[in-house]
Chains A and B, each alone.
Chain A
Amino acid sequence: MNKLSMNDKSRWLVPLLICIFCALTYWQTTQFETVPEILKRGTQPSDFPQMVLVLIAALAMLILFKDRPKPMMKLEPKVLKTMGLLVGFTLLAEIDLFLGLGIFAASLSYLWGEKRIIALLFAGVVVPILIFFFFDFIFEIRFPKGILTNIWYG
């Protein structure tokens, strides 16, 4: 079960992180090249992002002072593990996209409580293979080369 907690820390932490993000991004906009006055057509490339960043920072400050703490669900272990699996997928996909997809799908299914081998094989093997050939034949999509896809592409 999810547990509710009065997470007072996130009340100021999130707006503060937003303000830090805005400050860093604003600095980044100061590094943009500028256009000579004579060639300028209305605005400099940094003008518009800077206006948006100032707006975001101002609103984050408003939240910082006005927002009331609200009870928040604690992250379930399964959510954290699912996030871990997503990170694992991004690493595996570097080796082979469909290897990553298959392992991720089967692991996710198992993590979420599926114990039947047939169901795990369906999610981790049958579906990725079907989707691969569906996109390959119907949409003529060429997937990135990898350990498994090379078997088909040669």
Chain B
Amino acid sequence: MDDALLGLMALSDPYLLLLLVFATLGGVLIGALPGLNATTGVALLLPFTITMQPIPAIAVLTTIYCAATFAGAITAILINTPGTSASATTCLDGYPMAQRGEAGRALGMAAVSSTIGGIISVICLMLAAPMLSRAAYYFAPPEYFALTLFGLSMLASVGEGTPVKNIISGAFGVLLATVGIDLLTSIDRFTFGFNELSEGIGFVPVMIGVFGISELLVQAGQLDIVRKQVIMKKIKLPSKADYKKVWKTILRSSGIGTFIGILPAEGATVASMIGYNEAKRWSKTPEDFGKGAIEGIAGSEAANNAATGGAMVPTLALGIPGSPTAAVILAGMMVHGLRPGPTMFTEQAEFAFAIFWSMMLVNILFFFIGLYGAKFFARITFIPTQILWPVVFIFSIVGAYALDQSMFDVWIAVGFGFIGFMMRRHGYSVVPMAIGLILGGMLETRFGQSMVMLDEQWWMMVTRPLTAFFLILTALALFGPMVWSKLFTQRDPMKSSGE
């Protein structure tokens, strides 16, 4: 309780409050700009936090995460272009509503359900993260190894690639994490004579490359996309009848979003899809979905914002990112010398609770900013691509340089921009690679420690109940969907007959 109060006290600093207001504005702006999303935004702005103290720095990053996730709905509703992939399902009903002159009502519902979803998930985060970390306090290296492996196995289902391609991408990230001096033996690996590689490949330049610079190349191929904005009348909050219709949907989607967010690597996009589907399944009028059903917006938006809080649970309590953006925030914590994991709630509890409170605050802030600034942010999306992306590139490069003041990091960022673009072009999502890079070091260290502990008899891991449990979960995450789809295909007479 004292820690929660101390965390709240930390937020009473006027400088930090002002910073959070600006970060919310920045996050909403990033989320509203098509092509930029929460992950890219956090990766690009991470270097700007280098001179800050850890609390303001990480609070700014989580604020951008929450605000950008919400803001994707603005463009989804007004121009039928989701600002972030998590808002793709919001387009389905938001844009039809806007077309029939109800843009204000749709935006109002998006803001209300996002705020409620976000606040519910932060409350869950405040309760669940310390409990989870207390349980994890008793984990030994084999349990940690199995848990990290489970986190990595969840990468099979993230991003736009197929499961096999996602695992290749994740494994490539793990391989990249082995570059530099081996911590257990102090022997150089893959440094090729470059001193800059002795400490490994930096997270930040790689993130800037694969999320920022590769997106610039993607945008180069999409210059002919024309966006049309729907004229928006006065914004109005949802009516009592609307609330009556959607309150169950909001609560259900908030629960779904929080749960999906807690699962390692699963983020807001998956949450919004499931939230939307469940809203449709439970609706009394499922036929209205896709034609402008207000429940559709509530189901999608409550879930994707709830996922942000949920994603921070494993990130802070176990050091395993709950979503791609949480992975970049995790990298930010490491850059600031923090050690997310079970010890965080005993050694840095004030920091953890300050982050929780800042997330709570941003959920209230973006409600007002989103509602009253929606018209302005919708106009911002019309900044010409040919001006926006050169500016984003300059920020990317200067950001990559600024962290260690090294031109080597600039080359890394540009190189990974090319690698990221080619990976995406061939169906290999860059998200698993980024998470693999962050978790790779931990995975190898825990594996090495487990080998020492088990006297090099790795098969002894399965004799430890918790390790075996995580290994079974890993196997289920990897092979479950494959087996399930095979069984399902065999039993589906329509598919088997080729119709």
Contacts and interface: CB of A to CB of B under 8 A. Distances in A.
Interface of A: 1-2, 10, 14, 18, 25, 28-29, 32-33, 35, 39-46, 48-49, 52-53, 55-56, 59-60, 62-63, 66-67, 70, 72-73, 75-76, 78-79, 81-83, 86, 89-90, 93, 97, 101, 104-106, 108-109, 112-114, 119, 122-124, 127-128, 131, 135, 138-144
Given A45-B187, A139-B51, A14 B426 contact: yes
- Is the contact region of chain B dominated by helix, strand, or loop, or is it mixed? helix
Interface residues of B, number: 59
Interface in B425-452: 425-427, 444, 447-452
Given A41-B448, A44-B185, A139-B50, A2 B221 contact: yes
Interface in B377-412: 384-387, 389-391, 393-395, 397-398, 401-402, 405, 407, 410-411
Contacts of A14: 426
Interface of B: 48, 50-51, 162, 164-165, 167-168, 171-172, 174-175, 178, 182, 184-185, 187-190, 213, 216-217, 220-221, 223-224, 384-387, 389-391, 393-395, 397-398, 401-402, 405, 407, 410-411, 414, 417-418, 425-427, 444, 447-452, 456
A46 B182 CA distance: 9
Contacts of A81: 220
A42 B447 CA distance: 8
28 contacts: A2-B221, A35-B185, A35-B187, A42-B448, A42-B450, A42-B456, A43-B451, A46-B189, A49-B175, A52-B171, A55-B167, A56-B171, A59-B164, A67-B162, A72-B425, A86-B217, A89-B414, A90-B411, A93-B410, A97-B410, A105-B391, A105-B394, A106-B390, A112-B220, A119-B387, A123-B386, A127-B394, A128-B394
B387 A114 contact: yes
Given A41-B452, A42-B448, A122-B387, A143 B401 contact: yes
Given A108-B390, A108-B393, A82 B216 contact: yes
- Is the contact region of chain A dominated by helix, strand, or loop, or is it mixed? helix
Nearest to B48: A139
B165 A56 contact: no
A106 B389 CA distance: 11
A60 B402 contact: no
